Amino acid sequence: MLHISDPHFGTERPLVVKALERLAHAHKPDLLILSGDITQRARAIEFEAARAFVERLAIPSRVVIAGNHDIPLFDVATRIFVPYSRYCRAFGPELEPVYDTPELLVIGVRTTRRYRHIEGEVSNAQIARVAQRLKQAGENQLRIVVTHQPVHVTHAVDQEHLLRGHQHAIGLWAEAGVDLILGGHIHRPFTSALHERLVDLPRRVWAVQAGTAVSSRIRHDSNNSINLIRYGFENAPLYCAVERWDYNNDADDFVLFNSVDIQRSILA
């Protein structure tokens, strides 16, 4: 599967857009996960460009959630009364999509709020609903939850951007069997073993963050960045690897930066 985040259409880099399309065509992922901030200012023309880009990727299935930039900021009436109307016209009415196959369960969570400009939150009801869905997963499914704001950060400067309610969410979702929690928002790519930092977790859980896929709004020490997540069964328990691919300006292409093998907990 291909995990991208924060393309911020309206600020996209055309060469990077083309390079990401080439990567998708070369690797042929079965699923696209887009974890929010699709646009820069939630304008209709930006959503149209983003939808056309997603179509050009030619990936059979997709899970797309909105980020805080996908709610109009300056159009106050739209923000108050129909904040997701432009998002829904481009990507459909489901704000918390679910993708379910024999080997994969992906649950999207709406963490944006019309009354929050940047920060995100997840309610107790959402946490419980996601946990219940995770508990219904098959033994052979890789279990993924997708949020926009991160549930974990690796630098103090990003602490203010942590998803509100993340501690409760991680605990309940871990008990319910989650393997990976995907996010974006901070434009800092990493894969981190939450079970090595939170001693009370009952199983192995990984936070997987994507950088900004194609935007000029590059931050920190990384260029445009995406994740390829490989998974499946081959006469053995589920394997999973998260590959980080960064855009290389000189090569005008995405190149493999690193790969992290995910050691999944065996469910009782």
Digit-coded pLDDT (tens) for 1-52 = 999 999 999 999 999 999 999 999 999 999 999 999 999 999 999 999 999 9
- The confidence score (pLDDT) of residue 140 equals 87
Looking at residue 163, its pLDDT comes to 97
Q: Per DSSP, what are the bridge partners of residue 246? A: 225, 255
CA distance 120 to 5: 15
Distance CA 205, CA 214 (A): 28
Query: What is the spatial distance between Cα 99 and Cα 105, in angstroms, rounded to a whole number?
Result: 6
Under a CB-based contact definition with an 8 Å cutoff, are residues 154 and 162 in contact? no
For the chain, give percent helix, strand, coil, nearest 5.
Answer: 30, 25, 45
**Collapsed DSSP state (helix, strand, coil) of residue 4:** strand
Max distance between CA atoms of the chain, in angstroms, equals 55
pLDDT at 237: 62
Pair 86, 47: CB distance under 8 Å: yes
User: pTM of this prediction?
Assistant: 0.95
pLDDT at site 127: 98
Distance, in Å, from the CA atom of 198 to the CA atom of 175, rounded to the nearest integer, reads 13
Q: What is the 3-state secondary structure (H, E, C) of 157-169?
A: HHHHHCCECHHHH
From first to last of its 268 residues, the chain has per-residue pLDDT tens of: 999 999 999 999 999 999 999 999 999 999 999 999 999 999 999 999 999 999 999 999 999 999 999 999 877 788 888 999 999 999 999 999 999 999 999 999 999 998 877 889 999 999 999 999 999 999 889 999 999 999 999 999 999 999 999 999 999 999 999 999 999 999 999 999 999 998 789 999 999 999 999 999 997 778 999 999 999 876 556 789 999 999 999 999 999 999 999 988 764 3
Q: Which domains does the chain have, with CATH numbers?
A: 2-262 (3.60.21.10)
Amino acid sitting at position 211? G
pLDDT value, residue 268: 39
